[in-house]
Structure 1
Amino acid sequence: MSKPQEPQRPLFPFGNPFRALSPKGSRLPQSLVNTLNDFEESLAGRLKLLEPKVAGDVLSLSWLELAMRSLCDTHNDIKNLISALDLPVCDWEEKWVDVYLDISVKLLDICIIFSSELSRMNQGRLLVQCGLHNLESHSPKGCVRARSSLDGWRKETTSKNPKIDSCCSLLDGLMQSLDLPKVKNSAKGKVLMRAMYGVKVQTIFVCSVFHAALSGSTRKLVEINVADSFPWAASFSNLRTSVNDRVRSGFASGRAIICKELEVVDANVMKLYPIIQDGVDAGEDGDLNETIAQLSKGVESLSQALESLTKGVDGFFQIVLLGRDALLCNLRANSTASHQKVGANVERLAV
């Protein structure tokens, strides 16, 4: 029997690690302050743009694609910030590296799971498209084949992807990573950890909404409370409240399919199925022709949304993977250089 889920604990349970970005009696160089301010202002603006304008927007593949694009931009920003800090990996504390590598592998796993669910959705779309193609023959056999394809769609939409459940433990692990390592005597390190906190908050939030939309469950929607000392705190709080409330409202209404584009297709499939049950001639039934037209339009919209979202998830996967590879290569290079230096010193001592 699985253990009952513990209520999510408020952040920061360990106190605010960012109360001061530098040791007492010292001040952060203005260049570092400017770098951090630019990053946090960009993050605040990005979070504001994600706030849905219409109630149904958040429960759609198009909003998820917008959220994934925003997440890619934030991860590119942190990469640029690290370059601007000019903080070599050899100067990173070991615990920072461990946290980064742990987070990155969890994100790669989450991307793979999301991609598998999007692939399953696309398989269902192909079944509907096949059904529409069979109806073009205007024959009894075409109707039989179309019904078979629509049956496949209904099975796909009512079944659950078991891989989605494995996201829960990954999201739990990401939540735990918000407890940042302490930074000692490093102004650049403090800036890096503060910026990384913003990246992690947005990443966890977006992934939790993805999980809700793809799994049909709100149990992993996060309620992260960000300290007011962050310039982007208000933007995130408004976004979190707006999105989470609308997602929960959508689930409470009893919608069988959460994503808007899928729901439109399913509604027309359910309308079409009984019409072709008795092999009606498509050329003689006005309702049938109208339903087919609406279904074709819905399938086209779903196809475009799935393609864009799949590209977005793949793009995020590549950003995380490349960042991880770059860090590992840098660590190996530093390790090799260190060994070579030790070897040269030993040789000099021998001479």
Structure 2
Amino acid sequence: MRCFFSCVNPLKAQFPKKNNACISPPLLSLLNNFETSLRLSITKLILKDDDKNAFLTVSWMIQAMRFLCETHQSIKTLVTDLNLLVSHTEESLMYAYSDISSKLLQLCDAFILELDRINHVNLLLKLVFSNAEEFSLSQFNCWRQLMASKNPSIENCGEVLSSLVESMNRYHRLYKKKQSAKVKVFMRALYGVMVKTLYMFSVFAAAFSGSSKNILYLTIPKEMEEVPWEQAFMELQNMINREIKNTLFSDKFTGIKDIQAVESGAEKLYAEVQKKLAPNMLMAELLKRSVIEISERFDIVSNETRCLRETVVSARDAVFKRVCR
């Protein structure tokens, strides 16, 4: 597990109360409403003790990606509500924002490719379970080897995440420069969105790779402790990191529980075949249905990821249209 923002804080955003003195009450109200909404969206991802088994399931992934999409849509809405205008002297902020959004799109593309790959491989297992009487170790191993094969786009996620941290570091250093009140509000709001997105993308990267090495640990700088979403975020992060620590990622080719369950069921079915027992046709049929259902739900995750990608592009376009010439 990689730890960022603990000793040297790469997201050092200077938003103490004295910087809010020049922000009008209407703008502060917009900011407070935005950050309160962000806190609520983060809270929805925190699992209660009796719901912990739902973590890293396809259903949880759908919900997480859907909330991320809603969060990025809110940035676009905020830009409109602020009637944001970025002056020529603030264009460096736009270049930094473009760099960050480009890296987010790269991660979205990696996730979409992996989801498509998983569904393609699962077609093989669906066919295997359709004829349980001829279920063989070679067929099962073929599926397992394909599932365990490395996807270059997912393997590269760690590097992109690290690069994204550096980009955000450069982005937030710009806040120290003189900015308009509306830009200050935008930058602080975007800070919260990016913290949530960066962390959740690291969780997705870990789930797809079956390795916890991509997980980030983000700490909120002292200057930001007053933000209303900080406590919810830390609770979410601590909950997820604790659950991931309790999951034996090193022994699995994926951290997604639904696929692990299918693999376990397939191993039991093969064990019966190996003992020359009559194949459990009911078990085979249930596994086949599970594979079909998983594929259908992965399609939903993929659609939500595509929605997020489109939203990031749309939000970026909305901001760039506000640059004064």
**Is 2:116 aligned against 1:119?**
yes
Greater length-normalized contact order (CA 8 Å, ≥ 6 residues apart): 2
SS at 1:55's partner residue?
helix
Could you tell me which residue of structure 2 aligns to residue 341 of structure 1? none
**Deviation, structure 1 residue 124:** 1.9
CA distance in 1, matches of 2:246, 2:89: 44
Tell which deviates more after alignment, 12-21 or 156-165: 12-21
SS at 2:208's partner residue?
helix
CA distance in 1, matches of 2:257, 2:209: 14
Could you tell me which residue of structure 1 aligns to residue 34 of structure 2? 39
Indicate conservation of the 8 Å contact 1:101/1:324, yes or no.
yes
**Is 2:196 aligned against 1:206?**
no
AA aligned to 2:55 is: V
CA distance in 2, matches of 1:45, 1:14: 22
Could you tell me which residue of structure 1 aligns to residue 299 of structure 2? 307
Structure 1: gaps (5+ residues): 339-351
**Is 2:71 aligned against 1:79?**
no
**Deviation, structure 1 residue 89:** 4.1
Could you tell me which residue of structure 2 aligns to residue 267 of structure 1? 264
Indicate conservation of the 8 Å contact 1:22/1:185, yes or no.
no
Q: Relative to structure 1, is the Cα distance of residues 75 and 14 closer, same or farther in structure 2, using a 3 angstrom cutoff?
A: closer
CA distance in 1, matches of 2:181, 2:13: 17
* Aligned residue pairs, count: 315
SS at 2:213's partner residue?
coil
What TM-score does the superposition give when structure 1 sets the normalisation length?
Answer: 0.81
CA distance in 2, matches of 1:104, 1:13: 17
Could you tell me which residue of structure 2 aligns to residue 294 of structure 1? 286
% identical aligned pairs: 31
**Is 2:182 aligned against 1:188?**
yes
**Deviation, structure 1 residue 301:** 3.0
Indicate conservation of the 8 Å contact 2:124/2:143, yes or no.
yes
CA distance in 2, matches of 1:223, 1:327: 29
**Is 2:173 aligned against 1:178?**
no
**Deviation, structure 1 residue 152:** 2.6
Q: Deviations over 1:208-253 (max 9, x none)?
A: 0001101111122111112321110000000000011101210268
Indicate conservation of the 8 Å contact 1:59/1:247, yes or no.
no
Q: Relative to structure 1, is the Cα distance of residues 131 and 254 closer, same or farther in structure 2, using a 3 angstrom cutoff?
A: closer
CA distance in 1, matches of 2:297, 2:273: 28
CA distance in 2, matches of 1:279, 1:212: 38
Could you tell me which residue of structure 2 aligns to residue 317 of structure 1? 309
Q: Relative to structure 1, is the Cα distance of residues 21 and 156 closer, same or farther in structure 2, using a 3 angstrom cutoff?
A: farther
AA aligned to 2:4 is: Q
Tell which deviates more after alignment, 195-204 or 85-94: 85-94
Q: Is the radius of gyration larger for structure 1 or structure 2?
A: 1
Indicate conservation of the 8 Å contact 1:21/1:187, yes or no.
no
**Deviation, structure 1 residue 93:** 0.8
Indicate conservation of the 8 Å contact 2:61/2:301, yes or no.
yes
Could you tell me which residue of structure 2 aligns to residue 221 of structure 1? 215
Superposed, which structure 2 residues align to 1:1-351 within 5 Å? 8-10=4-6, 12=9, 16-20=13-17, 22=19, 26-53=21-48, 54-90=51-87, 93-135=90-132, 143=134, 149-179=139-169, 180=172, 181-182=174-175, 183-226=177-220, 227-251=224-248, 254-255=251-252, 257-276=254-273, 285=278, 288-327=280-319
Tell which deviates more after alignment, 260-269 or 38-47: 260-269
What TM-score does the superposition give when structure 2 sets the normalisation length?
Answer: 0.87
